[in-house]
Structure formats: structure tokens, C-alpha cells
Chain A
Amino acid sequence: NAGVTQTPKFRILKIGQSMTLQCTQDMNHNYMYWYRQDPGMGLKLIYYSVGAGITDKGEVPNGYNVSRSTTEDFPLRLELAAPSQTSVYFCASEASGDYGYTFGSGTRLTVV
């Protein structure tokens, strides 16, 4: 069982470039989440999904987009990268309603 897999692990983007952070889980979890982690700020929720075809904004959604076409995949899209999006991004999943989040190992993104 791979759990939650995130790719890439590291990425450097130039201002204005776009990219997609990939997240895949093999646990058949309905709920999936994207968080960003900044020093001293904890984990802030960007977007979440309660099932295929359903997504909703979290606390800090500006500058990001998501889609959920399958149960397994929940990619996060950055359209016009800005230095403020330099962060570590974590994807997580859980079975419906049990709060037992499983996190991926993260993507460290630097925007220069």
C-alpha cells in the first residue's frame, strides 16, 4: 500500500509560470485535502474534496485551482506563480468522516 503519493518532491518555478502538483491515493478514500505549510503558521487548508466531482475552497484558495475527476487523484494547479506561493504543500486523504488523515510526504515549491 503506497498511501498518499505526491509528485514532484521539489520544484523551482519562475514568477508567472504554471504547474500542477500531483496527488494520488490508493486507499479508496472519499475525502481529500490540500494544505500549505509555512514556518510558524501551521497548516492552512487550500482546497478540499468530499468525492469525485465535488470540490470546495478552504481558508487560502486564491491563486490555486483543483479538480477531482477520480476518487484516486486530486491535483492542485498553480496558474500564475507568485513568490507568496513559496511553501511546502501537503495532500491528505481520509475515509468518510473519521478524521483519520493520511498525509503525503509533501512538495517543496520555491517561486523566484
Chain B
Amino acid sequence: QQQVKQSPQSLIVQKGGIPIINCAYENTAFDYFPWYQQFPGKGPALLIAIRPDVSEKKEGRFTISFNKSAKQFSLHIMDSQPGDSATYFCAAGGGATNKLIFGTGTLLAVQP
């Protein structure tokens, strides 16, 4: 019940495309859903996050869509650029603990 399932494992898109990364969770006590971006040799960095009281959040070219009834959330990257090539992790937190449970990651490559 503590798992966060992420797909796909890897993704290749052309510049300008819209990659979509999906995550699913089981624990209904989760109330915070962030996405982290990680470049090679660096630690993950918070990209965007959402709480379950809204269905969508946009920050620049990055959008989180949240479906509470399906217990799913996804990251969309509009007008993707080669500089967006990185590993993306979804995560979930909340309930009795402040700990984040991370998905397994998606390696995104945006080709020029």
C-alpha cells in the first residue's frame, strides 16, 4: 500500500513533443504529490507538486494532472526541449509520516 508505481521506465520524444509520465498510488492517506527532476551526477530537485484538492497544476511548461478517484497523477512537459532530458521521479507523501515514497523513475530523452 506504500508503493508508487511509475511508467514508462524510459521515453524518447522529439523536440517540441509532449512527453507524459504516469504514476499510481494505493494509500488514500497520501496528500502531497511532487515530481523531481534529476540530471546525471546531481541530486533530485523539486520540479512541481500538487495537493489532491485540485485536478491540475501548471508551472511554465510543466503540468501535473491529478485524478483522485483513480489514484493516479501524471506529468506533462509541453514543447519539450533537449535540456529537459533527465530522469523524472514521482513521489507521494502524507498521512502519519512526512516521508516521501518515490516511484522508480523515468529516463526521458528529448531529441533535437
User: Which residues from chain A sit less than 8 Å from chain B, CB to CB?
Assistant: 4, 31, 33, 35, 40-45, 48, 50, 58, 90, 92, 94, 96-97, 99-106
Contacts and interface: CB of A to CB of B under 8 A. Distances in A.
A43 to B, nearest CB: 4
4 closest residue pairs by CB, A with B = A103-B43, A42-B104, A43-B102, A42-B102
B100 A99 contact: yes
Given A41-B104, A42-B6, A50-B98, A99 B43 contact: no
Give the secondary structure class of B's interface.
strand
Tier of interface size on chain B: 20 to 34
Contacts of B98: 31, 50, 94, 96-97, 99
Contacts of A102: 46
7 contacts: A43-B89, A48-B99, A90-B43, A99-B100, A101-B46, A103-B44, A105-B41
Contacts, number: 52
A106 B93 CA distance: 22
A100 B49 CA distance: 9
A102 B83 CA distance: 21
B12 interface: no
B100 to A, nearest CB: 7
Interface of B: 6, 9, 32, 34, 36, 41-46, 49, 89, 93, 98-105
Given A42-B89, A99-B32, A101-B46, A33 B102 contact: no
Contacts of A92: 43
A35 B105 CA distance: 14
Contacts of A106: 41-43
A66 to B, nearest CB: 14
A45 B3 CA distance: 12
Contacts of B45: 103
A101 B100 contact: yes
A106 B36 CA distance: 15
A90 B44 contact: yes
A80 to B, nearest CB: 26
